[in-house]
Amino acid sequence: EPVYLWVHDGQAEIRPAGHLWGLDTGPAQARIREELADARVRVAQIGPGGENLVRYAAIVNELHHFNGRTGMGAVMGAKNLKAIAVRGRGKVQVHDPAALQALARSVPERIKANGGSQLLGSRGTAGFVAATSAGGGLPTRNFRSGVFEGAAAIDGEAMHQALGHGSTTCYACAVRCKQVIAAHEPYEIDPQYGGPEYEGLAALGAYTGVSDLAAVCKANELCNRYTLDVITTGAMIAWAMDCYEQGLIGPQQTGGLTLRFGDGEMLVRLVEMIARREGLGDLLAEGPLRAGQAWGPEAAALAIHTKGQPYPAHMARAKGSLPVVYAVNPYGADHMCTEHDAFLLPDMPDSFQERMRALGILGTAPVDATGPLKVRLATITQRYMSLLDSLELCAFCFANAWFFDGEDIVAAVRAITGWQTTLWELMLVGERRIQLMRAFNAREGLDARHDVLPARMVEPLVGGPTDGWRVDMDAWQRDRALYYAAMGWDPESGLPGRARLHELDLDWVVDELERHGALAG
């Protein structure tokens, strides 16, 4: 039977949720708060997408904060766990409250000095859509091109002017980057579900060739309402449209539907069908690995994914480090697991270059360059971004383009815990997480054979400033082998190496991998 978990006052209760099963996330949250007689209860939950085990279902917190990728919502659905409701009344004790308060009070001045933070506060990540297209890096029509002629129509500025309904924020954050939208026609868009981020506008808009802002925003609202990962949802619809336009499938496979890039009404309809696993939506709900097998090898080759996770809206063919990063990342392609190539451009602000030097990354390079410097960028900043994930720190405050830096993280950890730690020590925490994920994969049979790129990455981009750009596979092979060596993995098999695991005090992982024959020398 469906249940939800109620955590409060040091207790945890499992409560029946049959009356909540099948509800969209908005009504479900309202019912839980009404039932518990407390409007301050916080709720993490799944909608129909998770309940119906869509492979890429998400978990939503407070209706518009998402654990978006890797299908954790489907895991909750498989356990018949509708929601986790929490009410905290205690106080968080920290080692040095004055030091932590001083860091927090510095935020307004830091935001004023950071142009990117100001843009986030006014338009959110949605404000980067048009600029990304102008630079040739916006994946369009299932990654055929890096330029979308409809980018300005779905950019954050257009969304703000047409549908803007203010902004909201994560708890106590001064940036307020979460945009809220609302509409009554041609689609009803409920503001309680927030609004699209850059990735949502790109995946549901540019990926599918849809420049109808209302349709893209409605599709995004449905993803939020039903708890679907917007990137994978857009990628699966774009893949189906590509297969249809290339004649690899027809009405017999689609249930009579005509799939064409640019069809906003079909976009909205397919999101509904995926969440409810109706008709074609049942197949698309399976994700690229399983769905690709249904339509044959030519269709499967058009699915843009690694390890079953579709690519985000940051073009690997336009950034030299990303092809290796997307291939080797333990849970598939992820744009938030590393810093990107623009940090190494010689004309970037001094603050960017200072951040890179502080991490030990020296030198400059064109954005599409490959080679040792780009591998160094990947390995070092992956450790840093993994640290942010380990500490639950937002990348839009603590990553290297924003207003807190590594030494601020050290100061915060010291103030909260009293640990006399260093950035070097904390970076090792980030690396341990990466090594543990790699070790888990190796134990389960994943190795270099799974660190691969989709076929389209070797095709040249069409149009704009990145016209003709593609992944050079010889350079990619060299960089992947160098990445493996830098991480202490076998350059051929990609299996974790004994020496680096011992150095990170992960002796028990060495023993585990040896038992399963998944350890390099």
Give pLDDT tens digits for 269-284.
999 999 999 999 999 9
Alpha helices per DSSP H over 392-472: 395-398, 406-417, 423-443
In degrees to the nearest 10, what's the CA dihedral of 349, 351, 354, 356? -80
Beta bridge partners of 57: 228
Average pLDDT, the chain: 96
Closest by CA to 500, choosing from 434, 420, 410, 426, is: 434
Residue 346 CA from chain centroid, whole number = 28
Domains belonging to the chain, first-starting first, are 3-87 (3.60.9.10), 124-310 (1.10.569.10), 316-515 (1.10.599.10)
What confidence category does residue 353 fall into, taking pLDDT thresholds of 50, 70 and 90? confident
Give pLDDT tens digits for 9-34.
999 999 999 999 999 999 999 999 99
Distance CA 159, CA 127 (A): 9
Q: Is 5 left (phi over 0), alpha (psi -120 to 50) or beta?
A: beta
Decide: 217 and 193 in contact? Cβ < 8 Å.
no
Question: What average pLDDT score do residues 406-424 get?
Answer: 97
**pLDDT given at position 14:** 98
Global pTM value: 0.97
Decide: 447 and 495 in contact? Cβ < 8 Å.
yes
Decide: 318 and 308 in contact? Cβ < 8 Å.
no
**pLDDT given at position 114:** 87
**pLDDT given at position 349:** 86
Per-residue three-class SS string for 239-259: HHHHHHHCCCCCHHHHCCCCC
The H-or-E segment that residue 60 falls in is: strand 59-61
Beta bridge partners of 84: 5, 44
Give pLDDT tens digits for 433-482.
999 999 999 999 999 999 999 999 999 999 999 999 999 999 999 999 99
Q: Is the pLDDT of residue 302 over 90?
A: yes
Give pLDDT tens digits for 151-206.
999 999 999 999 999 999 998 898 999 999 999 999 999 999 999 999 999 999 99
Distance CA 62, CA 72 (A): 16
Structure tokens belonging to residue 75? 């895991």
% the chain with pLDDT above 70: 100
Q: Is the pLDDT of residue 115 over 90?
A: no
Distance CA 58, CA 24 (A): 13
| 499-504 contact pairs (CB < 8 A, 24+) | 500/435, 501/435, 501/439, 504/428, 504/431, 504/432, 504/435
Structure tokens belonging to residue 39? 């409007």
Torsion sign (Cα): 21, 11, 95, 380:
negative
Closest by CA to 312, choosing from 132, 157, 167, is: 132
Question: What average pLDDT score do residues 36-61 get?
Answer: 98
